[in-house]
Amino acid sequence: MTRLDTAERHQPLDRAAAVVRRACEEAGSTTVPVHHEAFCLRWPPDAG
């Protein structure tokens, strides 16, 4: 199984956290509604 290294996994999460943090600051709240989509792809190594 191929996995992203730690930095590659954390970068998107850090960017998302910054977006939510900024939205909270702008709203003057500790919570804000957030629309998000998530998906998972499985790609067999020999599908090349």
pLDDT band, very low/low/confident/very high, at 2 (cuts 50, 70, 90): low
Query: Which is more confidently placed, 48 or 15?
Result: 15
Nearest 5°: the CA angle 33, 35, 38 is 135
| pLDDT top residue among 4 and 17 | 17
pLDDT value at residue 5: 85
28 DSSP assignment: T
Least trusted range by pLDDT, from 5-9, 29-33, 38-42: 38-42
Amino acid at 9: R
Domain ranges of the chain: 6-47
Q: What is the pTM of this model?
A: 0.61
Whole-number pLDDT of residue 35: 83
Residue from 14, 7, 16 nearest 37 by CA? 16
| Mean pLDDT computed over 12-36 | 92
- Which among 44, 30, 38 is positioned nearest to 13, based on CA atoms? 38
